[in-house]
Structure 1
Amino acid sequence: MKSKIIAFALFASTTAAVAFYPAYRSIGAISPATVESAVLPPTANRSVGNEQPVVEVVFVLDTTGSMSGLIQAAKDKIWSIATTMAQAEPAPLIRMGLVAYRDRGDAYVTRVVDLSTDLDTMYATLMDFQADGGGDGPESVNQALHDAVHKVSWTQDPSAYQVVFLVGDAPPHMDYQDDVKYPHTLAVAAEKGIVVNAIQCGQNRWTLREWQQIAQLGTGQYFQVDQAGSAVAVSTPFDEKLAALSAELDKTRLYYGSAEEKAKKQDKIEATEKLHASASVESRARRATFNASQSGGANLLGEGELVDDVASGRVDLSDIAPEELPEPMQAMAPAAQQALIAETAQRRTKLGRQIEELAHKREAYLDKEVRDSGIGEDSLDEKIYSAVREQAAKKGLSYEADAASY
């Protein structure tokens, strides 16, 4: 279960100033950069566009009243699932989305969260979902699958590994005359190259039959878990410190751009703040571990992050209009702006190194706990990993880890 954790590169100037900057990015390997008089020169810390494989995952989740245990498991484990997917070689760009569904007559039938590398915002939405509504009978599975295939912005890249995990405990309504039935939707998914897996919660025999059919038509896998989700949930002595360091690392982000671009980044910052305020310590530790992976930088920083863009040479600080800078920097003299970027880079690298060290210790602790107890063998974590490893191999992604990340 060894996930690939980035080593934070130490780089130093031989002249007036020394700064540190991590190659804490979703794309590319670690590369050194130097600071000359507190000015960060160009580096090549990202690979180009299509050189990085893409993994796109949409969870289609029943959020009716009987699913409270599984919904909580999703909130607890989504970061571990992301880290598991980040274990691939080459390290992929990971985009996740969500379709929550209930049934007609409930507060909603479906709610769609589009695919994005911004897992923080997706997770903040997931946190709001509560188990409610529904009944003892079928649910709007047909519409949920249709929305997952048709209302999500899947990439057109044929080399991408694109996968849906349907998670629920009740069969679909096949009596709604105006529904697009799942066999038709799954035929479209197959044409698009989207794999559909079906995870049954509980023992409903009618669900069993339909879920197996969905997995077969979706060229995916069927597996069953108990009503609570059968996920591995182990706390470690490192979780609280990882969560605290991750919160400090998030404070080093400086976003720039147009007013519209900065407003979007403010939404991301607010989602992150919500996560730190409300998510469990264990979930925040799992997020810190994912963000420290080569795939996790896209979630940590996203686009338009000033320190990263200046350090990498993608932008020159002097070329940015004052009104597009982060507000605290707009009235600063150029030398003060450069000093702030260097200071922020140094702080980010120090925090990143601490997170990397603790993430390794956390993984070693979990590896022993799960191995000694045997709780991972039939867990949701391992079933998802098994499906991903087999299916992603067809797209050229290799997963060599012995087990999922927990």
Structure 2
Amino acid sequence: MKTSIKTILLCCTLITFISCNAKTKKQKVAYNESEIIHPEPNKQFIKVALLLDTSNSMDGLIDQAKAQLWDIVNELSYAKCGNSKPNLQIALYEYGNDRLNGDEGFIRQVLAFSDDLDEISKELFSLTTNGGEEYCGQVIQTSLNQLNWGKNPDDLKLVFIAGNEPFTQGKVDYKDVATNANEKDITINTIFCGDYNQGISTYWKDGAQLTNGDYMAINQNRKTVHIVSPYDDDILILNQKLNKTYVIYGSKGREKLALQAEQDNNANSYSKANAVKRTVSKSSHLYKNETWDLVDALELEEVDVEDLKGDVLPTELKGKTKAEIKAYVSKKSEEREAIQEQIKVLNEKRKDYVLKHQKETTNDLENAMTKAIKEQAKKKKYTWE
């Protein structure tokens, strides 16, 4: 059975892209849209590469990943590095799919490192499975070569790969890949879909241990458990209000606003509880949209109102003075902060309710990913609130 499970794992991991210095100086954008000055990079990151197998038979695991993505993001939102709230970055690969280029090992980079949670969700939901050959060593090496991992010794650099075929398949030796990963201070974590001991005998555990990573085995067919709370409806009403605080700008603003709504619908397609969890994620510092939302862009100093040209503004702001634009965005910012605070208060009550009513049933993928991330983050002095 080929493993599509990886795709799901990587999803979770996506949540694990937390970066240590959330508040670093950024250069302002001189907005002439064609003349964007990119922000200075943060000094410390948690970078996670999710390597997903999209070969046959692992649809159940993919469903787990889609359903638990926002749970993982929410858990990561409580992380701290010193006094700072870390940011999140995720890269996504698929492999083992016959539709991919065989000359390149049936491997495709879906997303380079990104902090766009809506885009990550979109790509996760777009993945489809098909038969193929799964080359674990080659896809890991490809991610090591292609991605910008950086050279900062304080960064936390993680690979998560999931599957159920032998780890030794393909021409690239996973032991050589592990040596390369160690040289770059990158930790490889492996998730085997199936029996724990079978994963050991097919070298998934060895693949993780060579870089001091975690080996995990999960039941990919376990259904995700969603517990409905009496606070869910109120949180979802607040989500509708939250969406109205976004002020689009630039050529992609309208498209990105539509993408936000699409991912709301994708979350809701699993359950009301899952839509609630996405709403909670949208109230956290990890959900930022400075490339298309003026509220986030001004807060993060990526745009200066004085430099905004009329053609990048939404209809409601065209023809307005700079002072009027500032006042409008400031009002939306205040509304958003108030709504996000209400969501956080209700979520604390929701968490208490869920804790009291949940049974021993667990969500395998979520637990495996968050546990590994937390343990490895401790090495870089991360803490959880």
Scaled to the shorter chain, the TM-score interval is 0.7 to 0.9
Correspondence 1:111 to 2:99: no
Select 1:144's aligned residue among 123, 134, 139: 139
* Alignment CA distance shift 1:194-1:313 (3 Å): closer
| Alignment correspondent of 2:120 | 122
**What SS does the aligned partner of 1:236 have?**
coil
- Alignment length, in residue pairs? 338
* Alignment CA distance shift 1:188-1:233 (3 Å): farther
Letter in 2 for 1:307: V
Distance 1:368 1:149 in 2: 43
| Alignment correspondent of 1:250 | 243
| Alignment correspondent of 2:377 | 392
**What SS does the aligned partner of 2:384 have?**
coil
Task: For structure 1, list consecutive stretches of 5 or more residues without a partner in the other structure.
Answer: 1-25, 30-47, 257-261, 401-406
| Alignment correspondent of 2:256 | 268
Alignment of 1:180-219 (within 5 A): 180-203=172-195, 207-209=199-201, 210-219=203-212
Contact 2:189 2:214 in 1 (8 A): yes
**What SS does the aligned partner of 1:163 have?**
strand
Task: Point out which structure has higher relative CO (alpha carbons under 8 A, 6+ apart).
Answer: 1
Alignment of 1:328-343 (within 5 A): 328-334=316-322, 336-343=324-331
Q: CA deviation at 1:79?
A: 1.6
Q: CA deviation at 1:363?
A: 1.7
Contact 2:100 2:107 in 1 (8 A): no
Percent of residue pairs bearing the same amino acid type: 27
Q: CA deviation at 1:207?
A: 4.2
* Alignment CA distance shift 1:97-1:313 (3 Å): closer
* Alignment CA distance shift 1:232-1:153 (3 Å): farther
**What SS does the aligned partner of 1:121 have?**
helix
Alignment of 1:2-401 (within 5 A): 27-28=22-23, 50=42, 53-90=44-81, 91-103=85-97, 105-107=98-100, 109-112=106-109, 113-134=111-132, 139-172=134-167, 174=169, 176=170, 179-203=171-195, 207-209=199-201, 210-228=203-221, 232-256=225-249, 262-280=250-268, 281-294=272-285, 296=286, 299-303=287-291, 305-310=293-298, 316-334=304-322, 336-370=324-358, 373-376=359-362, 379-399=364-384
Contact 1:169 1:204 in 2 (8 A): no
Letter in 1 for 2:367: E
Q: CA deviation at 1:292?
A: 2.4
Task: For structure 2, list consecutive stretches of 5 or more residues without a partner in the other structure.
Answer: 1-20, 25-39
Deviations 1:257-287 (A, max 9, x none): xxxxx23555533321221233323333222
TM-score scaled by length of structure 2: 0.77
Contact 2:163 2:191 in 1 (8 A): yes
Letter in 2 for 1:268: K
Distance 1:190 1:145 in 2: 13
Q: CA deviation at 1:199?
A: 0.8
Contact 1:60 1:164 in 2 (8 A): yes
C-alpha RMSD of the superposition? 3.0
Instruction: Compare CA radii of gyration and give the structure with the larger one.
Output: 1
